[in-house]
Amino acid sequence: MIYELRCSDDYPNSYWFQFKKEEISIVDLMQCQEIHLKNPLIFTLNKKISEKRLLSYDYYMSDGPDFISPRLATLLENNEEFVKEVQLLDAIVIINGQSHYGFKVFNPLRSISCIDTDKSESRYILAGTPNEIRLFSSIVFRQDVTEDFWVARCEEYTSCVVISNKLRQIFIDNHIKGFNLKD
């Protein structure tokens, strides 16, 4: 089974971070290639929020890439199979001027064909050009995908990151907070 990796429905809008776009862009992360950075990625949040509640999450949203908590990063970094497929980029999170370390950005290093384009709803952006891009409003995953993977980008829609059932089970077993795993 394949699951789309998304932030949970109960993730507060006030917890959206701003991404300091210096070394990479979100498009760089969609290439499924290793990225070499000189400095950690920086995310900031300057709002009156419960820092304790915010830091209880394991998955965070931003106006750039999403990122994960130090707790989840440590759990995943200790899985040798996982780190062969996903690069975890260092990130610093700044909340009301205070820096927090150990956060990571997922950079999937593989893509798989997994969307049933006949059953999904989409429209083309720049239709008829060599750079046709599909924008999906509804995704249905193929049931015949047999690839063994942990995390990947969908070939049909590179904005979509999917995870396998084995990673989903790790999230469940470890009470990972902040994910909505849509199948």
Using DSSP, state whether 77 is helix, strand or coil. helix
What residue ranges in the chain does DSSP mark as E strands?
Answer: 2-7, 18-20, 41-45, 59-60, 67-68, 86-95, 98-108, 111-112, 121-125, 133-138, 151-154, 157-164, 179-182
Q: What is the pLDDT of residue 129?
A: 64
If one compares 114 and 134, the residue with the highest pLDDT of the two is 114
Q: Write the CB contacts of 51 (distance below 8 Å, at least 6 apart in sequence).
A: 95, 96, 98
Contact 54, 26 (CB under 8 A): no
- CA distances in angstroms from 164 to 4, 49, 104, 148, listed in the order given: 9, 33, 20, 8
Lowest model confidence (mean pLDDT) among 10-24, 92-106, 118-132, 143-157? 118-132
pLDDT at 88 over 70: yes
At residue 10 the predicted structure's pLDDT band, cuts being 50, 70 and 90, is confident
Q: What is the pLDDT of residue 173?
A: 93
Nearest CA to 55 out of 26, 94, 21 is that of: 94
Tokens standing for residue 105: 């950005």
For residues 38-42, average pLDDT:
94
At residue 127 the predicted structure's pLDDT band, cuts being 50, 70 and 90, is low
- CA distances in angstroms from 153 to 117, 129, 137, 165, 174, listed in the order given: 15, 23, 17, 15, 24
Q: What is the pLDDT of residue 123?
A: 86
At residue 49 the predicted structure's pLDDT band, cuts being 50, 70 and 90, is confident
pTM of the model: 0.88
